Amino acid sequence: MKFENILIETKDKISTITINRPNKLNALNILTIKELHNALEALSSDNSCKVVVITGSGTKAFVAGADISEFYKFSKQEGYQLSQDGQTNLFDFIENYSKPVIAAINGYALGGGLELAMACHIRIASKNTLMGLPEVSLGVTPGYGGTQRLAQLIGKGRAMELILSANMINAERGEKLGLTNHTTTQDELIQFTYELARKMTTNSSTAIAASIKCINSNFKDGENGYITEINEFSNCFQSEDFIEGTNAFIEKRKAKFK
């Protein structure tokens, strides 16, 4: 598959997708969103990939937002389509992805950039990172799930403050608020991210997929996360990974999942 705005590399069961528009601070235009969707779709059935890492190219930005130059003349209808297509094809798609997706935030994560990071399952940020949802300073609301996911991650009051002020926060503050999981130096970001990803590659893919489903279930209208958990838990029983994982424990050896 050929891409214009992203790079993909898979090594040791970890696939890294790099958003590659450094001259535009990796701003998310419609083509980039489409390419990210297509890449993730392909990786979802690729057995050489167990974890996905998303990062930005260059040293300045993860993603500095949706591409303002692309949407600034859009009509209401086009704005609706932009938000709906983006949410469905990328942001919700990542949140519900069956393999862990980790955002390695290597600089500015603004607007759609922070929304992309928030759709990922885990966020690790380098110290040069500045994060925020500055949309109201442009006369618009966040449109890629930011009003919902930010409140889920850091609480309603803090989400209100960050969105209504359009302020940016640094990585340390982001970690304190629970927006990011870890903070590293710029040099250590990718190595640190890979170490966490590597640990995940040793675990059962089917149990990981089921766990992601259970955790997300708590945030879905009309779903009862506890019931989802009972179903997913019981579905694991006598699966190939369950047999290998539990037998390895009994036999005092390390599990080897396929």
Q: Answer yes or no: are the C-beta atoms of 123 and 105 closer than 8 Å.
A: yes
What is the dihedral angle through the alpha carbons of 43, 49, 55, 59, rounded to the nearest 10 degrees? -130
Question: Which member of 70, 135, 232, 251 is catalytic?
Answer: 135
| Rounded CA separation 1/192 (Å) | 29
| Rounded CA separation 93/32 (Å) | 15
First-residue to last-residue Cα distance in the chain: 26
User: What distance lies between CA 48 and its chain's CA centroid?
Assistant: 19
- Spell out the residues 6+ positions from residue 83 whose beta carbon is closer than 8 angstroms to its own: 143, 144
Residue 67 vs 241, nearer CB to ligand COA: 67
Could you tell me where the DSSP H helices lie in 87-182? 92-95, 112-119, 146-154, 156-165, 171-177
At its nearest, how many Å lie between ligand COA and the CB of residue 164? 15
Catalytic status, residue 78: no
Catalytic status, residue 35: no
User: What distance lies between CA 240 and its chain's CA centroid?
Assistant: 28
Q: What are 159's two structure tokens?
A: 């989400």
At its nearest, how many Å lie between ligand COA and the CB of residue 231? 38
Give the footprint of ligand COA on this chain (CB under 6 A).
Answer: 24-25, 27, 64-69, 108, 110-112, 134-135, 138
Q: Annotated catalytic sites, by residue?
A: 115, 135
